[in-house]
Amino acid sequence: MIIDSIEVYRVAMPLKYPFRVAFGDFSVIESVLVKVTSGDQYGWGETTPFGHPSYCGEWAGGVFAIIKDFLTPHLLEKSIDSGEQLQNEMGIIKDNYFAKAGIDLAWWDLYCKMRNKPLWQVLGGDKEYVEVGADFGVMKTIDELIKVIDIAVKEGYKRIKLKYRPGWELEMIQAVRKEFPDTVFHIDCNAAYTLDDLKMFKKIDAFDLAMIEQPLAHNDLVDHSILQQSLKTPICLDESITSIDMARKAIDLKACGWINIKPGRVGGITNSIKIHNYCRDHEIPCWVGSMLESSLGASFLIALATLPNFKYPSDIFPSKRFYHEDLSQPEIVLSDPSQIKIPSGNGVGTEPNLYRLEKMKIDWC
C-alpha cells in the first residue's frame, strides 16, 4: 500500500488522580497518536513513552519530532506491504522505538482494515477474552494498600502487581503476604535498584512472588543475569527489552524467567510478534504491559495478548480506572471481573474521539 499521508498528534490526557511510580508522579499522560492514510482508507496508532524521558530515553515531545521530521518524510509515497518492510525502512533511524511504534501500529490497523479483518485474527490470536490483572502504586500507608488489595481480590482479579521502591519494600510486601497468603503477587521495581541491593532481593524469595519486574537498570542485562542466578524468584524484564536482539541476549544470559512485551517499547506490533515467537520457542513465557494509553493504544495490547505465549494476566485497564473521559472510543470495559473482550470491528477496532482529540492535542501536524 502506498503511504499517502501521515498525521501526528501529541496529546495530554488528564488522569483522575496522579499515578506514582519509582520515577515520579504524573497528573496527565502525554501520548502520541498517528494516522496513516492510503487512498481512501486510514489506520490509527498510539504510542506513549510518557511526557519526560524517565521510563526510557524517549519522551512524547521527542517522539512527535522524530515522526514529523524524520519518519514521515522518509516514508511518504513509499509502497509498504509488510511490517517487516516497514521496520527495515525505519531502520535508518537508530533506537527511537516508541516513535517507530506509532507508525507501525497505524500501519497494522490500516493493513487489517484493507483486508476487512480484525487485528487479533490477522496476528493469529486464539482467545476471545484476555485476562487482566490489578496494579497498585505506592500509597500513603500499608493499611490503605491492604484495603484496595482486599477489594481487588474480592472482585476476582487473579494476580496483583505492586510498585516497589526504596521506602516501600520489604515491610510492605511482608504485611501484604501475611494478609493474603494465597494471592498471586509480583512487584515492579522500575529499575530503581543495583546489585548493591542483592541482600534485600534474597529476602524477597521468602514471599513466594510470581516474579520481580525490572529490578535493575533499564539498559542492563549482565547484572540482571548475576541477580537471577542468586534468586529463586524469577526476574521479569520490561525496560531492558527494546528489541528482538535484546530478548535473545537476555535469554542467552539467563537474565530472566519472564519477558514483558509493550509494543511501544519495542517499536511496534511487528517486533512484538517476533519477540513473542522467539520467547515461545525458548520456553520463556511473556505477558503484555501498558503505558496508560487511551483505549486506542490499549486495544493493540488486547489484540496482542490473544497470542498463545502470553501466560500471565496483562496490565490492561478499564478506561474508568484512570480517565474521566477516554480520548478514544469505544472505551475499555471489563466484561468479567478480570477479563476484557476483544474489540469488534476490522483493524484494531478503536479510534480517537475527534472532539476529545481537539481538546487534548498540544502539538500536531
Q: What is the closest distance, in whole angstroms, from the C-beta atom of residue 56 to Mg ion in the complex?
A: 11
Which of the stretches 111-119, 166-174, 183-191, 198-206 binds Mg ion when contact is defined by CB under 5 A?
A: 183-191
Whether the upstream peptide bond of residue 352 has omega within 30° of 0, thus cis, is no
Query: If we measure between CA atoms, which residue out of 345, 260, 334 comes closest to residue 304?
Result: 260
Pull the grid cell for residue 289.
504491559
Phi, psi of 18 (to 5 degrees): -60, 140
Shortest distance (Å) from residue 33 CB to Mg ion: 23
Nearest to 301 by CA among 326, 276, 327, 336: 276
Question: How many chain residues are in contact with Mg ion, going by CB under 5 A?
Answer: 3
Closer to Mg ion by CB, 188 or 220: give it: 188
Three cell numbers written together for 339: 477479563
Q: Is 46 in the site for Mg ion (CB under 5 A)?
A: no
Cβ 81 to Mg ion shortest distance, Å: 34
262 is catalytic: yes
Question: Which listed range, 43-51, 181-189, 220-228, 274-282, lies at the site for Mg ion (CB under 5 A)?
Answer: 181-189
In the complex, what is the shortest distance from the CB of residue 213 to Mg ion, in angstroms, rounded to a whole number? Answer: 5
Query: SS3 of 130, please?
Result: strand
The DSSP secondary-structure symbol of 195 reads G
Spatial distance between the Cα atoms of 210 and 233, rounded to a whole number of angstroms:
7
| Nearer of residues 55 and 278 to Mg ion, judged by Cβ | 55
Binder to Mg ion among 188, 220, 293, 326 (CB under 5 A)?
A: 188
Residue 288 C-beta: closest distance to Mg ion, Å: 11
| Marked catalytic residue, from 262, 274, 341, 361 | 262
Q: Is 315 in the site for Mg ion (CB under 5 A)?
A: no
Pick the catalytic residue: 113, 161, 163, 274? Answer: 163
Interface positions, 189-248, toward Mg ion (CB under 5 A): 213, 238
Residue nearer to Mg ion on the CB measure, 68 or 161: 161
Helical H runs in 56-155? 60-66, 72-75, 83-90, 97-114, 119-123, 142-155
The 3-state DSSP class for residue 207 equals helix
Query: To which residue does cell 497528573 refer?
Result: 27
Q: Which is nearer to Mg ion, 188 or 293 (CB)?
A: 188
Query: From the CB of residue 192, how many other CB atoms can be counted at a distance below 10 Å?
Result: 19
Instruction: Give the residue numbers marked as catalytic.
Output: 163, 262
Question: Which residues contact Mg ion by CB under 5 A?
Answer: 188, 213, 238
